[in-house]
Amino acid sequence: MVKNEDLLASVSDVSTDSEFFSPIPAGYKKGRAKYCFVMGTVMSGLGKGIFSSCLAKLMQDKGLKVTPIKLEGYLNVDSGTLNPFRHGEVFVLDDGMECDMDLGTYERMLDQNLSKANFATSGQIFSSVLNKERHGDYLGRDVQMIPHVTGEVKLKLRELAMSSGADIVFVEIGGTVGDLENAYFIEAMRELAYEEGPNSCCFVALTYILEPKALGEQKSKAAQLGIKQLMQLGVQPDIIACRAGSAVTEKVRQKISVYSNVPLDRVISMEDSASIYMIPATIAEAGLDFKVARLLKIEDRINLRYERKASAKWCDFTDKIGTAKRDVTIGITGKYTSVRDSYASIINALEHAGIALGAHVHIKWIETTGVTDGNAADELADVDGIIVPGGFGTRGAEGKIACIRYAREHDLPYLGLCFGFQMAVIEFARNVCGLAKANSTEIEPECPEPVIDVLPEQKKIEGLGGNMRLGGKDIELKPKTIAWELFDKAKSVRMRFRHRYEVDPRYIERLEHAGMVFSGKAPNQPIMQILELQSHPFFMGTQAHPCLTSRPLRPQPMFVGLVAAAMQRRCPDKKLPGCVKAVQKVCAQGS
């Protein structure tokens, strides 16, 4: 009889005489790391990433080391070429990996900087398998979905467990149970649980409870059939989280419990919440965190003293949600405004800043395609500040420039991100420096005054995305500027980038002479990365995406500054702190 231990053979034990194949990293110890698998049924978009990150946070708050990974079924090698209309925003990690927006949820909730090891697509998995086949790594075996492709998935999870030193690896499987593209991921999880042995893995199924208005009651049949599909794949869920618009009734939970062989106390209601940051409390109230610890037999690793401190700190933050006494409205001017997930990180960064300052931040979505100098005042009449976010392409660019001009001329707080930084330079060049034909070569390739262009050294790098500046980069701050003050007078700050166009160095001196201050630049390079107008209440832009590094307990200073300036504009008669003092106050509270 073959024991589970025998399955954990090294990669070098590949043989045509055996059907067992499960590549193991050198030094891997079975049982050290546990695995929690989160998958969805009925439909996508249930919030698997939110649920998984919230559960991971609760385990992290117990003093356990956790690390997440998102498994995506699409064949793209990364998310960089995906249209935000189709898949939400592209989230960029510090190491430059362009990934799914759920990685942003994990980073914010766990306050961790993740890496490419925390994200895998079918494109990555298949590429790795085919490369190994070409190198002869499979020693003459016919390469198949099982065991080779599933083996590659298991290898990636075990390598992550080892490199992170995690007590629990949280594995989120994209899509829905029943999708052809993620079936092999689920099979790999089944195999991994079998090989690792009892109490090594926990399976969580998110499902959806229908509540048709015409019937006036909750219906569980779709959820039952979705769970049945999962069980037909050989996976017995340990926990079922029922998503619904309102609290799931006891009767519905009982039906699902009986149908799925899952104890009733592990079938929980996950109704809609006012903020995702309230969800950890909902999960904790159901005792799910301790149930997971018992299922994985890691109760002895819990640090209760650490948990009390971490829980108190988080509660101090969540207690402020919904208690704001002031309101501000920030306009987001973009071209993906019909899909809110396109700007998920910006929305979260504004929420973090608003909670820290005691303000409820309302967002007005402004589609810029039809905005002109003539109607910008009408479009922006009811906002207290604006953000021009990142984006690619020409559509809506002139409308963004019109919004920026209005903000500059009417002291409306402004924050430009990436493309918004570039548009601010173009607007200033045209209307202050007198360069009437100023533009970006992205928008007008034969532009006679290309104040925004691809730098010469970047033009040498060929291929779509090849000449992108991606990932975390250091920004050297200019002393005695607003940016320098916002970042606590630091010499430099690190932010994340995703762009290929820059301020053309030939125009920097002329822009600065007219009053534009480049308060942040790349060390030892003529690459401008932060701009500001010091005569303006708050006018800043950055080539970076600062929203990507905003965290609930550590709001991003530029967003705090924008919201603080918007609050001042809304209530000029009240003694509210200026943007710099507001940031200093928030940072002091966070520490």
Print the domain residue range for 68. 34-317
Pair (47, 129) in one structural domain: yes
Report the DSSP beta bridge partners of residue 453: 502
173 and 35 Cβ atoms separated by less than 8 Å = no
Q: Is the confidence at residue 540, as pLDDT, over 60?
A: yes
Pair (357, 292) in one structural domain: no
Pair (520, 487) in one structural domain: yes
pLDDT of residue 236: 97
Read off the tokens for 227: 């769970």
- Single out the residue in 292, 317, 342 at which a domain terminates: 317
Pair (371, 257) in one structural domain: no
Three-state DSSP string of 248-259: CCHHHHHHHHHH
CATH of the domain at 270: 3.40.50.300
The predicted model gives 107-132 an average pLDDT of 96
Secondary structure element (H or E) that encloses residue 268, with its range: strand 267-271
- Single out the residue in 274, 300, 317 at which a domain terminates: 317
Pair (443, 478) in one structural domain: yes
Tell me the pTM: 0.92
CATH of the domain at 333: 3.40.50.880
Examine residue 11 and state whether it is found in any structural domain, yes or no: no
Examine residue 408 and state whether it is found in any structural domain, yes or no: yes
Report the DSSP beta bridge partners of residue 121: 72
Examine residue 19 and state whether it is found in any structural domain, yes or no: no
- Do strands 449-453 and 502-503 pair parallel, antiparallel, or not at all (unpaired)? antiparallel
Pair (304, 337) in one structural domain: no
- pLDDT class of 512 with cuts at 50, 70, 90: very high
The predicted model gives 284-308 an average pLDDT of 95
Residue type present at position 554: R
Three-state DSSP string of 333-397: EECCCCCHHHHHHHHHHHHHHHHHHCEEEEEEEEEHHHCCCCCHHHHCCCCCEEEECCCCCCCCH
User: Looking at the 3D structure of the chain, how many domains does it have?
Assistant: 2
Examine residue 486 and state whether it is found in any structural domain, yes or no: yes
- Single out the residue in 259, 282, 317 at which a domain terminates: 317
Smallest CA-to-CA distance from 201 within 253, 163, 159, 238 is with 238
Residue 244 — φ and ψ, nearest 5°? -165, 165
Question: What does the mean pLDDT of the chain come to?
Answer: 90
- Using CA atoms, how far apart are residues 563 and 324, in angstroms rounded to an integer? 13
Q: Is the confidence at residue 74, as pLDDT, over 80?
A: yes
The predicted model gives 390-396 an average pLDDT of 76
Pair (308, 351) in one structural domain: no
- Using CA atoms, how far apart are residues 242 and 255, in angstroms rounded to an integer? 12
For the range 569-578, what are the long-range contacts, defined as Cβ-Cβ under 8 Å and sequence gap of 24 or more? 569/384, 569/385, 569/411, 569/412, 569/413, 569/537, 570/326, 570/327, 570/328, 570/384, 571/326
pLDDT of residue 500: 86
The predicted model gives 200-221 an average pLDDT of 93
Read off the tokens for 391: 């984006």
- Do strands 449-453 and 438-440 pair parallel, antiparallel, or not at all (unpaired)? parallel
pLDDT of residue 2: 47
The predicted model gives 474-485 an average pLDDT of 96
Pair (210, 331) in one structural domain: no
pLDDT of residue 12: 40
